[in-house]
Amino acid sequence: MLSDFNWIEAVGTSPVFVVLIGCSIATVAVAIERLVYFWKRNGNADATLERALADVRRGDIREATRTCESSRHPMGPVTTTLFRDGEYLEEGSDERLQIALSQQKMLLERNLGVLGTMAAVAPLIGLLGTVWGIMRAFHDMARVGSAAPAVVASGVAEALVTTAAGLVVAVPAVMLYNHLTRKLNGMLIVAENHARSVRATLTEPAVLAAAAERAPKKRETAAAR
């Protein structure tokens, strides 16, 4: 059925169909970009947390910082803010943590609004195509003065095709938008929980003592060089 349909004629005679083609191109482009981005950011947060905690318990804050910086998962940049200038004991560390989470959320949410818009708008554009096609069918009937199937077939076909095209664009957009939104929320929750675990470990007395003991050794080594 689709092979028999004259797509070139549909594009030339139906402006609504052209709009739907543009919507489909935008949806595919954003979907590919977001999927690639999320794939790149999908690091092993649990393994990074284990290595960072091990470094912290040894008092090696610099190595823990490098471990977090090497993580592609949002927990990496979020946790790194805790080590900035050794201010993880101050009350402002919680505020910095929330700011970092907000920044990561903005990066993950980028262009997701396009998918949400396509999911909501594409069916309405398809409905507009339905109305447009029916109007065209009635116009052809009035022009020819006949309601023969051959007269109204073109307008009805346009109405049905644009409706189907709107749904074809909207359904994958809705599914992908919901999937990425759930994944985004999960990544941010993991990032926040892991960062708070690291901060709790940083404030343990044994860790503070190990960090204080390690600092003079580093200064002595640097002075010897």
179 pLDDT exceeds 80?
yes
The reported pLDDT for the residue numbered 216 is 53
Q: Please tell me the distance from the alpha carbon of residue 94 to that of residue 100, in angstroms, as a whole number.
A: 10
154 pLDDT exceeds 80?
no
131 Cβ contact partners less than 8 Å away, ≥ 6 residues apart: 159
198-223 average pLDDT score: 64
Question: Which of 154-158, 197-201, 207-211 has the largest mean confidence?
Answer: 197-201
The reported pLDDT for the residue numbered 132 is 80
DSSP conformation class of 84: G
Instruction: Indicate the burial class of 197 (C-beta count within 10 angstroms; 0-12, 13-18, 19 or more).
Output: middle
The reported pLDDT for the residue numbered 148 is 65
Strands (E), 32-82: none
pLDDT tens digits for 97-147? 889 999 999 999 999 999 999 999 999 998 888 888 787 777 777 777 666
Q: What sign has the CA pseudo-torsion 37, 97, 189, 71?
A: positive
Q: Please tell me the distance from the alpha carbon of residue 16 to that of residue 132, in angstroms, as a whole number.
A: 8
Higher pLDDT, 200 or 187: 187
Evaluate whether 125 touches 23 at the Cβ level (below 8 Å).
yes
Evaluate whether 168 touches 89 at the Cβ level (below 8 Å).
no
Q: Please tell me the distance from the alpha carbon of residue 11 to that of residue 51, in angstroms, as a whole number.
A: 57
Residue 199 CA, chain-centre distance (Å), reads: 27
Higher pLDDT, 25 or 8: 25
The reported pLDDT for the residue numbered 220 is 47
Evaluate whether 46 touches 67 at the Cβ level (below 8 Å).
no
pLDDT band (50, 70, 90) for residue 7: low
Q: Please tell me the distance from the alpha carbon of residue 82 to that of residue 2, in angstroms, as a whole number.
A: 58
**High-pLDDT (> 70) share of the chain, %:** 78
69-91 average pLDDT score: 78
Q: Please tell me the distance from the alpha carbon of residue 88 to that of residue 18, in angstroms, as a whole number.
A: 55
The reported pLDDT for the residue numbered 143 is 74
Evaluate whether 162 touches 213 at the Cβ level (below 8 Å).
no
Question: Which of 11-25, 82-96, 143-157 has the largest mean confidence?
Answer: 11-25
1-18 average pLDDT score: 62
Residue with tokens 């910082």: 65
Which token pair is 194? 């892991």
**High-pLDDT (> 90) share of the chain, %:** 40
